[in-house]
Structure 1
Amino acid sequence: MQSLKALFRQPKSVFLLSFVQMWNRFSHYGMRALLVLFMLHALKFSTPFALGVYAVFCALVELGGVLGAYLAQKTFGLRRAILYGGWIVALGHLSLAMKWFFPGLALLIVGSSLFSTNITALIGEFYQPQDVRRQGGFTLFYMGINVGALLATILCGFLAENFGWEYGFGLAAAGMVLGNLALLKFRHLLSGKGETPEAPKKGLPLLLIGLGGFAILCMVGQSISLPLLPILAVGLGILIFRKLRKQNIPLKGLALSLVTLVLFFAAEEQIGSSLVVFTSEKTTHTLFGLPMATSSILSLNPIVIIFFGAIANALYLKIKNPSRRLAIPFLIVAGALALLSFSHMAIPILPLSSVMGVVALISFAELLVGPMLYTTCSEVSSAAKDPKVMGLVPIGFSLAALLGGTMSKFITATGYDLGFLVVAAMVTLFGIGLGGLQARIRQVTSA
């Protein structure tokens, strides 16, 4: 009971920002639950093209966060960046509802670039460096993310598949509008933090329009941008690493964490891509005799994170060997994908519960990877006293989305059985490789 009271003993601003983020994630995950299915069934895109667009979109949302953080620091300020980003996101969802597809995705990329990284940074401003409430505040923030994701994947998917796509995207837009209205109504709780550092420059609208245009070109030309965007992401990462190296900070542990992030979340990205397509084509679409929307499989991810976080944390702490901590999540994912492949070889049309089980296992493995990634990044960020360290996280996620897109296109192109088995074998090799580096990993993670 005391720990629960401590959890909720936070600045009022943290509750406000957690509420706003919950509705942003509601809108984001509601849209992502529909995106691949919308391209396949409403727009009649081919499967490779749809999966390529999905991967490029996810990568640009992450990469844009680096630019959004820079613009907030130099011109907008955190609060205005969040507010402007939220309104642009809402317009993006409405554009999708009206089938203005690529302009809608471009608006979502621009809006998310301004919103996502900056709301996390604004929460951090309400704590002193040694404030013991910080962890509890970010726990509430993370809870809000997953509550929003859970509600969205259920409600937006149900509306879209039973009443029409425009209702699903419209509900996603309504969620973002609600979050923004709350921020406007209760902005006094922010106590002036996150305000504009200087007058916004006149060229900013053109810059944002240019970003949207670049995003459209990348998505339409996904077959070209899918292999080229990693070069941009890696280049940004190298620039950040070079600046950090000048501060004589040990970066081996950070580099290892980022490689782990890219390789693991490339496989995890299959939840929203190849597994959605597989569910649409190769399952019964019923659970315990009740009809279920294809997008409902995505609701397992936040459910597992919300209800099994404590179990995963206990298991993570129990595994003392650093190499095993890194290897086990990969082996769980590999086992889940291999099991799905062998099951489909035996039963051409699988029960929906089989895919749900795979999603649940991958989501549980995610809980084992997350603590290591964010702990390492936050420790290096504190040591460097440089927020650019956290800019490496969206760069890592963008690379994961691009690699995941390549995986999903391979899975669907070569046949689900062979595709899932090959990806499972690759993920197994990643895990074994990390396990084989036991002594080196100990040296790196203790550096």
Structure 2
Amino acid sequence: MTISALSNPKNKAFFVVLFIELWERFGYYGMQSILVLFLSKHMRFGDNDANLLIGAFAAMTYAAPALGGWIGDKVIGNRRAMLCGSIILAIGYLLLSAATYYTSGIFVTMAIISVGNGLFKPNAATLVRRIYDNEDSKLDVAFTLYYMAVNVGSTVSMLLCPILKDHYGWGAAFLACCFGLTLGIGNYYITQKRLQPYIPQKDRSPLTWSISSLIFLGILGSILGITGILTSPFVAQWCIVGAAIIVIVLWINMYLNIDQHYKFGLKIMYILTLEGMIFFIFYQQMSTSLTLFAERNIDPAFYIGPYHLFNWSAGQFQALNPIWIMILSPLLTLLYTYLNKRNKDFSIATKFISGFIFVAVAFLIWWVMCLRAQTNQLSSWVMIWGYFFLSFGELLTSGLGLAVIARYVPSSMNGFMTGSYFMASGISLYIGSKIANIAAPAHINDLSADKTLLLYQHLFLNLFIIAVLAVIILMVLIPIVKKWNRHHKENMLAYQQSTVNK
């Protein structure tokens, strides 16, 4: 952006939201980078219990925005919901920093963070849409910067928090998450006037005592409910099963009742969304099995030949994902632009296939390196290249998930499908944690490096096979998807013509 663009009132309002979003992601991903290690090393959770708790926590965190978005849109306003969510998150990180002294409260603390995220995440994005309402080109630029802010915040915190943990303890690392978000909240209070012209009337009118009380009770009830789910793996598992059934029923009902012109597109969206859900199984390995693998079987030292460069803590390897995303995103955008100008752009289905090929390569690298390892400590460069292919796969699968919805679903149902997409993604994250337990040692005595190396070797082979199966399924379905896509375009053209004639 130029200096004149920065002085634009809309851009000033946008940067109010952007700054608090950056610090919110700083807090969340900083926490995530060390959470599985905290549960495993400090709280003495077995790998099985730690992975399942993180899976349930991720599922709740992904599902909560569906309700949080509704509260912001219909009840208290998006600005108030965003601010309320950020304050709840800061409290959650503060309590987490003290969890070394009250370990039994970890479930409540994680529930607080889930609820805070549910209020913050959808409403911050909605405010960006309101600022650039009916300005699609500016909205695209804004969300590009918004996405970059997410990656900048997460990269810095994923590199910083493990260092703080190693040198000053767990409490200091979690406290940094709280401190960062507090900076974002403080900046919001200083600059909030810039946002005032773009917030809806619902945000301007004072809340009545009755609504405030109901919101407080709703937040408290949600925290208690999620705490109960996180405390019991049995309850969590059946809640995930229930959520999966609800998503399937809603999708079937939507297909049966949607206008005939959209049915072919909806079938394409369902197939690609299911494939996108499979990716989240692999994505969940970053915060579970891959972090534990780095802790137990990766040499923390980086070398080029005989020259030592630096050391990384196990949690810092998660930062490779946003780093590669920031490097690859603009390159992929240039490639898409180049191909589009020459009318050679790949179909979304082809991009999904390419994405899963890259994912398969990532786990093939990790499996082969475990298989051929001469020692129990593999080179750090193994993680660099594995994360490169996994992140590339993310851009071609998960990165296109919302684009698939926008392309094939009518705008009147976009909000509903986006909510169900995130719920489905949360279900996949939980499944990913279940699969991560393939590498969970049966007993604490099995944590020796030679035994864990064999466990991760087995896990990576299974994940490689799942990725290959996803590629095969998509390749088999490509002719059908192309046929449905052709019918979808014909139906949309006929629908548009009939609308014009009317």
CA distance 1:275–1:319, change in 2 (3 Å): farther
Residues 1:417 and 2:445 are matched in the alignment:
no
The letter of the residue matching 1:47 is D
Give the Cα separation in 1 of the matches to 2:252 and 2:92: 34
For residues 398-423 of structure 1, give each alpha carbon's deviation from its aligned partner in whole angstroms, at most 9, with x where no partner exists: 12211211111123358111121012
Q: 1:177 to 1:286 in 2, by over 3 A?
A: same
Task: Judge which range, 266-275 or 80-89, deviates more.
Answer: 266-275
Shift of 1:324: 2.5
Q: Structure 1: which 5+ runs fail to align?
A: none
Where do 1:26-175 residues align within 5 Å? 26-99=26-99, 100-175=105-180
Contact 2:288 2:436 in 1 (8 A): yes
- 1:140-168 CA-to-partner distances (Å, cap 9, x unmatched) read 11111111011110111110122101111
Is the counterpart of residue 292 in structure 1 residue 292 in structure 2? no
* 1:304 corresponds to: 324
What TM-score, normalized by structure 1, do the two folds share?
A: 0.93
State which drifts further: 189-198 or 257-266: 189-198
How far apart are 1:247 and its partner, in Å? 4.6
Amino acid at match of 1:419: L
* 1:332 is the counterpart of 2:358: yes
CA distance, structure 2, for counterparts of residue 56 and residue 385 of structure 1? 27
2:390 aligns with one of 330, 352, 362: 362
Q: Bigger shift: 220-229 or 174-183?
A: 220-229
Structure 1 residue 193 corresponds to structure 2 residue 199? yes
CA deviation profile, 1:31-59 (whole Å, cap 9, x unmatched):
00010000011111111000000111011
Q: How large is the Cα RMSD of the aligned pairs?
A: 2.5
Is 2:408 aligned against 1:403? no
What is the TM-score of this pair, normalised by structure 2? 0.83
Conserved in 1, the CA contact under 8 Å of 2:272 and 2:349? Answer: no
Q: Could you tell me how far 1:238 is from its partner in structure 2?
A: 3.6
**CA–CA distance in structure 1, aligned partners of residues 399 and 282 of structure 2:** 18
Q: Partner residue of 2:466?
A: 426
With over 3 angstroms needed to count, the CA separation of the structure-2 counterparts of 1:313 and 1:282, relative to structure 1, is same
CA contact (8 A) 2:301 2:380 kept: yes
Listed one character per residue, the Cα deviations across residues 280-332 of structure 1 (whole Å, up to 9, x for unaligned) are 11111111332211111111111111111122334555662443221111121
- Deviations 1:325-380, CA, capped at 9 Å, x for gaps: 21111121112112211211221320122123212210111112245322222335
CA 75–25 in structure 1, closer or farther in 2 if over 3 Å, else same: same
Asked if 1:372 is matched to 2:400, the reply is yes
2:5–2:11 CA contact under 8 A, matched in 1: no
What is the distance in 1 between the residues matched to 2:230 and 2:372?
37
One of 296, 304, 320 as aligned partner of 1:281: 296
Aligned positions, number = 446
For the residues of structure 2 that align with 1:138 and 1:382, how far apart are their CA atoms? 21
Greater Cα shift, 431-440 or 202-211: 202-211
Maintained 8 Å contact 1:33/1:272? yes
| Equivalent residue number for residue 178 of structure 1 | 183
The structural deviation recorded for 1:443 is 3.2
The CA deviation string for residues 240-273 of structure 1, in whole angstroms up to 9 with x for no partner, is 7635764524422321232122101211211111
Q: Which protein is bigger by CA-based radius of gyration?
A: 2
Q: Aligned in 2, Cα 1:411/1:179: closer, same or farther, shift over 3 Å? A: same
Change (3 A) 1:35 1:114: same
Distance 2:394 2:4 in 1: 28
Tell me how far 1:106 sits from its aligned partner: 1.2
How far did 1:8 drift?
10
Seq. identity, %: 23
Mean Cα displacement is larger for which, 145-154 or 334-343?
A: 334-343
The answer to whether the 8 Å contact 2:26/2:153 transfers is yes
Find 1:342's aligned residue among 359, 362, 368. Answer: 368
